[in-house]
Structures are given as structure tokens and as C-alpha cells.
Amino acid sequence: MPEKKKSVVPRLRFPEFRDAEPWEIKPLGKLLVGPPEYGINAPAVPYSEFLPTYLRITDIAGDGSGIRKEKVSVARNVSKENYLCEGDIVLARTGASVGKSYKYKKENGPLVFAGFLIRIRPNRDNLNDEFLYQYLFTEQYWRWVSHTSARSGQPGINSSEYASLPLPMPLLPPEQQKIADCLSSLDEVIDLEAQKLDALKAHKKGLMQQLFPREGETTPRLRFPEFQNAPEWDEQSIGDFGDVVTGSTPSTMRREFYGGGIPFVSPAEISGLRFVDETKTTLTALGFDETRPIRANSVLFVCIGSTIGKVAQNRRECAANQQINSVIPNAEHSGAFVYYALVNNSDRIAELAGRQAVPIINKTLFSSVELPVPKLKEQERIATCLTSLDDLIAAQSAKLEALKVHKKGLMQQLFPQEVD
């Protein structure tokens, strides 16, 4: 008896295909030019224009936005077959990044792919490469990755397993093309909005370098007109800004301390945005009584661990864990200015931790760091300027996130949900 073909139908189809046949589910391997191929294993070396550029798992962005700008080379003779071609897709085959993908683009230049990557080359007569690439970001695909990679102790998917990937696809090539065009055009919009966000962040960074004195100086290169004739900035320690509070963690054995409405901040909650609004862990009033309270609009600085140097402000009263030193500003200092001053000097402060297995800046050392500071009125003027720019960055970040959510929702409609 001939094998019965599995068929599925997406919830959303373009008008011209609504009366078309259902989609079929086919193993990926039967839609490729040849079997999936492993890359070459060789040491990476500093980039050289005289050596081939090497693409490794760590060079690929997890969200499909492309690859890192920083290049490395491979010190080994390679043949033409080791280079990626237009339409090629590489997939990570091991480790925490298993399933991650990258579709080759000519603008990235000639690339040789590493041994922990597997190349697949769609047969364009029956499989649109962009259609396939978009499918590799669906929830259905990642469920398959999770199930398949968990078969052994070390997460991994080999070439034959990738060849067995069940791919839902429309029978008509124009429908594949339509879906690919729709989603790739949305990717272009997302990429443009991401570039705008990067430009705003770069502008803010450059402006801060002008508004704050350079190390060893007491006057900034750019000063607002009303402060052109004001005195030089004073050198003050972070301890002069207000109370410095090291966080603490209530006993995790006491369930009554947790699950209330009071934010409990850890380094994971401190991102690139200025304010911490929500936290994964919250405290009850009983738990909060066991901590050192941090007043609203204080400044939180990560002083321990791999993310040392991250800075944020809290919109409302909160507590923090022991990896965070918080500055509760006094009447002579603007909380917003203190935030921007610490952001501007975060790298320099982080270097004080030195090279240790667990980097740490204790409260005494953190409090003793000296920074140039103007009078309160000029602090507030600088903070107002940078706050308005941060508002633009926050709005752009929200716009970008909304586009990503929109795409995710659209993909759930354009691709069938149940794929066995």
C-alpha cells in the first residue's frame, strides 16, 4: 500500500490560496539538494584578510538578526565546498544553542562554516529557502528541537535527525513564496527599527561623553548656556551622593516572605533600560521587613558577578539581593543625575573588581569611588536632557518589541500549529 501523506491547514491563508489543497508534511531531507553536511573543525585565529572568514555557533545571533560584526579567521586550507553559497542555511548541532540557524547573505562576504554547524541546501525546485528559514523560528520547530535534542545527555541534533525534520509546506510554490515575502518584508521593517534604536543609543552615549567631564578633568566639553560661567565640578565620592545600601536576601526557606507585591531586584532584572518596573521575585511585607529598604528613584548598581557594572533606577520602593549596591540620594543630589553619572562611569568602576573567579566590588570600595559633580541645578538640567532621550529610546524599544510580537503571532497563523 502506498504511504498515506499527512496533510495540515494553517489558520490563515492568503486569499488566492484559500481554496488550494491542504499542506503536506514532508521530511526535510527529501527537499534538499543533498544530505545535510558538517562543517570543518579547526582553531579560530584573529581575523586576517588573507585567511578565510570562519563562522561558528557563537557568531550567530539567536533571534535570526544575523551574525556578529567581529570576524575571526580559520588557519587551514579549505576547498570551495566548505564555503557557504546563497540560499544555504546552517544549523547549530550541539550545546545550549542547538537548533539556532543562519541563512547565508552575500553581504557577509565569503564564509567557511565550523564543525558544530550543519549546512542544509534546499532544492529550490520544490522548497523556497526563505520559506524554510522562516519556519525555523516557529514554536513548532523549537518544540521539535527540544524533543529531538533531549534524546542524549548532551543536547544535540545530528545530520540524519535534521534530515528527518517534519516540514509542513504548501504544494504550490507561489504560496511558499508569498509567505516568505510577507515575513521577510516584516523582518526588514524590524531591522530598520532596530537600527533606529541603535542610532538613538549611540547618540545618547556620545552626548553623555560631552555632558560629563573626561577622567581627570573637572569641566565637561559641552555645558548648557546658563552654566557656561558656573564653577568647575567638584570631586565627590559615591558615598557623598547619599546612603549606600548593600542588598540582602530573606530566607528562602520561609515561604511567607515571598509572593507579595513588593519588588525584589536581582541583576537579571537590570537590562539596558533605565527603570526596573517588574521583578520575577516579589516579597510580602514580612519578607520586606527582613531586607534593607531602597527608596523609590534610588540607583541600583550590580557589584558582584558576570554582569558587574549594570545600572538601573527603581520607580517604587523595593529591596535588592546582595549582588547590588544601591545609592539612596540625599537632598544635594538628583537621583536621575546619579544614575547617569554611574552609567557613564560603569566600565571604570567595574574594572575595580580586578580579575577574579567571581568579580566583586564591596560596599567600602564602591562608596569611595570619586566622580566629578556639579551643583544641583546643573545636575537636574543634565538629567532632564538625558531623560528625554531615554524616553525616546524606551518608546523605540517598545515599538520594536511590538513588531516582534506581531511577527510571532502572524507566524502562528501562517504555519500549521500541529506537526507530528
pLDDT higher than 60, residue 38: yes
In terms of Cα–Cα distance, which of 63, 30, 34, 37 is closest to 167?
A: 30
Q: What is the pLDDT of residues 332-360, one digit of tens each?
A: 999 999 999 999 999 999 999 887 778 89
Q: What per-residue confidence (pLDDT) applies to 286?
A: 96
Angle, CA of 163, 164 and 166, to the nearest 5°: 115
C-alpha to C-alpha distance for 86 and 381, rounded to whole angstroms:
52
Q: What is the pLDDT of residues 67-86, one digit of tens each?
A: 888 899 988 788 888 999 99
pLDDT band at residue 419 under the 50/70/90 scheme: low
Work out the average pLDDT over 109-123: 93
In this structure, are residues 72 and 56 in contact, taking their beta carbons and an 8 Å threshold?
yes
- With a CB cutoff of 8 Å and minimum separation 6, the contacts of 55 are 39, 67, 84, 90, 102, 111, 112, 113, 114, 117
> What's the Cα-to-Cα distance from 4 to each of 24, 26, 127, 164, 357, rounded to whole Å?
11, 12, 21, 17, 58
Please provide the CATH number assigned to the domain covering 22-171: 3.90.220.20
Instruction: Give the torsion through C-alpha atoms of 269, 98, 191, 172, to 10 deg.
Output: -140
> What is the CATH superfamily name and number for domain 173-229+374-420?
Bipartite methylase S protein (1.10.287.1120)
pLDDT higher than 60, residue 307: yes
| Residue 314, C-alpha cell as written in the block | 527603581
Give the distance, in angstroms, between the CA of residue 63 and the centroid of all CA atoms in the same chain.
8
Please provide the CATH number assigned to the domain covering 234-372: 3.90.220.20
Are both 22-171 and 234-372 of the same fold?
Answer: yes
Domain boundaries, the chain: 22-171, 173-229+374-420, 234-372
In degrees and rounded to multiples of 5, residue 92 shows phi and psi of: -70, 135
Q: What is the pLDDT of residues 234-263, one digit of tens each?
A: 999 999 999 999 999 999 999 999 999 999
pTM (two decimals)? 0.84
| Residue 233, C-alpha cell as written in the block | 565640578
